Structure 1
Amino acid sequence: MLKIAIIEDYVIFRLGLKNVLELHFDGVATFDSDHSEDYEGELGKFSPDLIIMGLGFVNEPLRGLNFCKNVKKLFPTVPVVVFDMTATYSNAVNLIKGGANGYLSKGDSELELLTCIESVMKGKNYVCREIQENIIEYLILDKPAFKTHASLSARESEIASLVSEGEKTSNIAEKLGLKSSTVSTMKSKIFSKLGVHNVIELRHKMKVSMYSHMN
């Protein structure tokens, strides 16, 4: 019997995910909880074969990273799949490095979820197609992983994306292994290069640039 734990704050998404899993896997047993502080004891008693965790908005990736590290201490061999509301290249990289085995966007299809589960249960890592495309462009085609502006370096593009998502300077520094002062300096440089004065203008600039790239 496959035992799957679902940790997700949004009850509708959690129950919907549970129904999908029960539909596609015969005899599956599920445990579901939100991110409350007392779920870890029950998770230990359940002894899952797979853990699926949902993340919400911009303040969630750091908590997700801590969750992955803690879970891997409890269950070193159990695959962890992360569903991210704001799926980004940097979040995917940091979470996979932090112990996650699979990374999906909450907008991904049922088929992609099943493909991800199949991969991680075989001991492989998996990231959703959107992030795969970013990786190909960033590592193979030598393009910025975030399509903000040609004048930005890959690191600046990464920071620009995090800033536009509302991440604090201290969180960005911790996620990327930089000093807060370095992030602040690069943030100012990004604003200057793109001709913006605040996060709202930056977010708009990125959306316009991405739309132009798609067309």
Structure 2
Amino acid sequence: MISLFIIDDHELYLEGLSLLLVRQSGIEIRGSARNGQGLLDQLPGLEADILLLDVNLPDIEEELLLKKIREIKPDQKVIYLTLMRGTRYVHKLTKHKVQGYILKNASIQELVDAITTVHSGGTYFSKDIDVLSNDDFRHTITIDDTKVEDILSKREIEVLKLVCKEYSNAEIAEKLYLSISTIETHRKNLISKLGVTNTVGLVKFAIKNRLID
């Protein structure tokens, strides 16, 4: 049996994935967590072959969580499940020796293939994650446009659109009736969530995902 522990902050996705996986021969679910701290609290005594880990958790940045996982269990196998297919994220996470990176729109069979491959000592990365490697948006995350709101809050989308229109932080704050420091925080969160480094990256994301013309 291959034992799994699933971490995802969306309850419906977490429960649905668990139900799908327990129906697969040779797979068992050892438990789950809704955030990074929930995982870290259980990890020292956890006996699971593979962690199925969401990239965007509400309480901890993905690289910091991976570092903490490696401190507790250096050889723990990790497969990331995510909506994000930009190569920037993949490169960032593979520095911490993750064994797999699977898009959430993958079929259950592809996920099972990834699980069995990683369990046997291999690595598995969704074939679709390199689709941006040869165009102008190589380091820009691209997701299904119907799923943008799963990654960004409504307020973050509002801020992003205004950033793309070249409004300053002060101007955005005035338009949205927020403080300048709040807008600065939203900008930082957008850059962190989308795996970009500057405003140009934010604009490329917005164009690629049809948030602006």
Q: Structure 1 length normalisation: TM-score?
A: 0.63
What is the RMSD of the two structures over their aligned residues, measured on CA atoms? Answer: 3.4
Q: CA contact under 8 A between 2:85 and 2:141: conserved in structure 1?
A: no
Which structure exhibits the higher relative contact order, with contacts defined as CA atoms closer than 8 Å and separated by 6 or more residues? Answer: 2
Give CA-to-partner distance per residue, 1:104-132, whole Å, 9 cap, x none: 11111111111111221122221112114
Richer in helix (by share): 1
Count of aligned pairs: 167
Distance 1:14 1:103 in 2: 17
Label 1:36 to 1:95 Cα distance change in 2 as closer, same or farther (>3 A). closer
Give CA-to-partner distance per residue, 1:69-101, whole Å, 9 cap, x none: 221222222210111132321111111112311
Q: Which residue of 1 is the match for residue 3 of structure 2?
A: 3
Q: Which residue of 1 is the match for residue 65 of structure 2?
A: 67
Return the letter of the residue paired with 1:205. Answer: I
Pairing of 1:1-215 with structure 2 (within 5 A): 1-26=1-26, 28-35=28-35, 37-56=37-56, 63-134=61-132, 138=133, 143-144=134-135, 147-148=136-137, 157-158=138-139, 161=141, 168=188, 183-184=197-198, 187=199, 190=200, 199=202, 202-207=204-209
Distance 1:105 1:14 in 2: 15
Q: CA contact under 8 A between 1:85 and 1:105: conserved in structure 2?
A: yes
Match of 2:68, SS? Answer: helix
Q: 1:161: how far off?
A: 4.8
Q: CA contact under 8 A between 2:2 and 2:27: conserved in structure 1?
A: yes
Distance 2:18 2:190 in 1: 36
Label 1:203 to 1:72 Cα distance change in 2 as closer, same or farther (>3 A). closer
Gaps in structure 2 of 5+ consecutive residues: 143-147, 153-159, 161-186
Match of 1:168, SS? Answer: helix
Aligned-pair identity in percent equals 16
Label 1:117 to 1:6 Cα distance change in 2 as closer, same or farther (>3 A). same
Return the letter of the residue paired with 1:13. Answer: Y
Give CA-to-partner distance per residue, 1:47-90, whole Å, 9 cap, x none: 21111112348x89x72222222212222222101111323211
Give CA-to-partner distance per residue, 1:139-171, whole Å, 9 cap, x none: xxxx23xx44xxxxxxxx42x559x98673996
Distance 2:17 2:189 in 1: 34
Label 1:43 to 1:82 Cα distance change in 2 as closer, same or farther (>3 A). same
Q: 1:44: how far off?
A: 2.2
Structure 1 runs, 4 residues or longer, greater than 6 Å off: 164-167
Distance 1:169 1:38 in 2: 22
Q: CA contact under 8 A between 2:87 and 2:141: conserved in structure 1?
A: no
Return the letter of the residue paired with 1:106. Answer: K
Label 1:25 to 1:40 Cα distance change in 2 as closer, same or farther (>3 A). farther
